[in-house]
Chain A
Amino acid sequence: MTAIHLENLVKRFGAFTALKTMDLEIRDGEFMALLGPSGCGKSTTMNMIAGMEGPSEGRILFDGRDMNGVAMGRRGVGFVFQNYAIFTHMNVYDNLAYGLRVRGLPDAEIDSRVKKIADFLQLTPLLKQPSAKLSVNILQRLAIGRSAIVEPAIFLLDEPLSNVDAAFRAVMRTELKHLQRQFRQTMVYVTHDQLEAMTMADRIAVMDHGVLQQVGTPLEVYNNPVNLFVAGFIGSPGMNLLRGSLADSDRGLVVDLGELGLTAPLSPEVAAAARAHAGREVVYGFRPERVSLSVTGEGVPMPVTFVERIGARTIAHLGTGAQRVKAVFDNDVTAESGTTVSVAVEPASVRLFDAATGIAIREA
C-alpha cells in the first residue's frame, strides 16, 4: 500500500545510458505496467525500484521516503522473477515460510500465516510437495504467495508470463489480475507484451530507448498516442502512419498524401489543432480497425497488395511505395490483390503528428 515516485531517475552503465531522466508517479494500489521493446530501460527501472541497482541520478520515493541507500531486503518490496526463482530444494510450505523464518518469527505464527496464504491461493493440498516439479501456474501462485506473505508494500513483476506458452497465458493473465484485486497492492509489471499490459494494467507507462514516452490508461494510450513511437507500438497491427502535408481544399482542411492524393476533410477538432501547423509536413495516423473499403465510394484510392485471411480477422495490405496501410476487418472483405479500392477513414479516429518531431498535434 505505497505510492512510488520516481524523480529525475537516470541510470548509466559506463558510457551507455540505460535510462534518461525518468519521472513517474505510481499511485497507491495501482497496477502499473512498464511496457516497451527490449532494451527500453523498463527492467532497469524495476531493478532500481527493488534496490538491486542504484540510480546514477535522481531519487526513488516510497510514500515520500527516499529509498536511496536502503538495502533491497529492507524496502518492503515483493519481487516475482521471470522464472519465479522458487527455491527448488524446498517444498511448497518452506518456500512460503521463508520470508517469515528469516525474520525470526515464532513457529506458531509462521504456521498460521502460511496456512492462511496457502488457503487463499489454493495451495493447501500441495504444501508438502517438493517445489521442483510444480506446473507453471502453481509456480506463479507460489511465487506471489512467497512474496505476499511478508506483506510487502509493493509488488514488482518481471515478465512473469514470458516462459508460459501462448494458450496458457490468457489463463495466467486472468489469475494474476484477480490476485492483484484481492491483495490491493501497488503492482509494477514489466512486459514487452502489449496484450498483457492492456488487459491487466490500470495505467501503462510506454518506454523506448530509456525514455518514458507516455503514461496513461490502456485506452488513453491506444486512442491518443502522444507520439509516433507509441502510435506504432501499441495496437496489433500498430497505427497506420502516412506522410503528407496539410492543405486547404474547398471542403476544409485536408492532408495531401502525395501520390495517393488528398484525404477526406479533417474533423473540426483535429482541424482546429492543425491550423497552427498549416503547410507543414505531418503524419496522418489512423487505426487499421477504423477503416472501411469500397469500390467506388468516398475515400483515398489505394491499390490492394495482399489480403491475409486468418479466420476471425482479415487484414488487407494497401498502398504503394513508402505509403503503406493495413486495414483490419472482423469478417471477410471482397478486396482482392491487384485491384484498387477506396479507403475511407472514420474522421473522428484520425490523429495527426508533426513529421519533424513525431509529436501528436492536439488542441492545446
Chain B
Amino acid sequence: MSDPVLEIRNLNVEYGLGDQAVRAVRDVNLTLHRGEVLGLAGESGSGKSTLAYGMTRLLAPPGVITGGQVLYHPEQGEAYDVLGLSDRELRGFRWAETAIVFQGAMNSLNPVHKISTQLTDVLKAHRPDMSESARHARAREMLKLVGIAADRMDAYPHQLSGGMRQRVMIGMALILQPQVVIMDEPTTALDVVMQRQILGQLIELRERLGFSVIFITHDLSLLVEFSNRIAIMYGGRIVEEAPAAAIYRDALHPYSKGLLGSFPALRGPRRELTGIPGSPPDLKGMPSGCSFHPRCPKAFEPCSGNIPVLGRPGTPDGPSRSVACWLHPTEQPVG
C-alpha cells in the first residue's frame, strides 16, 4: 500500500454545544492513501457528509469539531494537522490541497456570475502572480479536460445542463491540481447515464493526474464499481473498512450486508431484495452498545452492552480490513 495522504484520527464532530449537542461523527479513524479512491457509504444521517465537512473545516454553525486530528501529507515536506491551521493558512490549504465537489450539482455555482469568473477567481486567490490571460487559458484548459467546449466560458450556470454544471465543478476542483478530491454525493442529482459518464471520466482523470478521491455516497453499487477501498458508516462511526471487492464478496458487518442486499445485482441468479428493517438511529438518543443492534438480525448478548471497536478480524484477509462487530471480535484495534 502506498503512503498516506490524509489521515483522520479520532475525529469527533458535534452539532450544538453542551448537553444538547448531537454527536454526528464519533471517533472516526480513516486513512486515505496516495492515488486511491476511498468510498464512504452509509444511510442518510450516518455522518458521512459531516465527516467530509469536518475534515475540511467547512462545518456551518452550530457544527463544531470537538476532538481529533486531520493529518495532511503534502507531496514534499512534513505532515501537518489541518485542524491546527490559522485562517490564513487554511485559505491557502483549501482547494490547493483538498478540493470538494458538493452534493448539490445544481446549486454549487453562483447563478449571477459567469463560469469563467467562477473558475478564474480560484486562481486569482491562490496564484496572485498569474496573469489575466494565463488564468483564462487555464480555465479553458480545465473545461476541455472535462469535455466542455471552451465557448461555454461565458455562459451563466442556468444556461448549462445539470451534468455540464457538475463537470464544470469537477474541472474547477482540479484547477489547482489538488492531492485530494472529496466528492460528496457528486451525482445524486443526475440521471444514471450521466452518473456513469461523469464518474468514468473522473476515474480516467485520476489515473492521468494522480490525485486521491474520497467518494461519499449512499449508493454502494457505485462504490463497488469505482472505488479501491470502502468504508461503511453507521451512527457516526465507521463500522467496516475493506477493499471494495472484499466488501462486495463477503461483507463482515451485518449492516454492510444489509446495504449490499438493498440493491439488485446486474448478473447472477435472481434473489430477493431484503433491505434493512427499521430506521437510522436518532443521534440524540443512541442505543447502548453497538448502535446497530436494535436493527441487526444477528444481534446477540454482548451487542447491547458494549461498543465494539474497529479492528482486524480473524479472517484470512484480516490484515487488509477492519470491522467493528461482536461477531468478529478483535484483539488489535485500529487507530
- A and B are partners in one complex rather than unrelated chains: no
Residue positions of B touching A, CB distance < 8 A: none
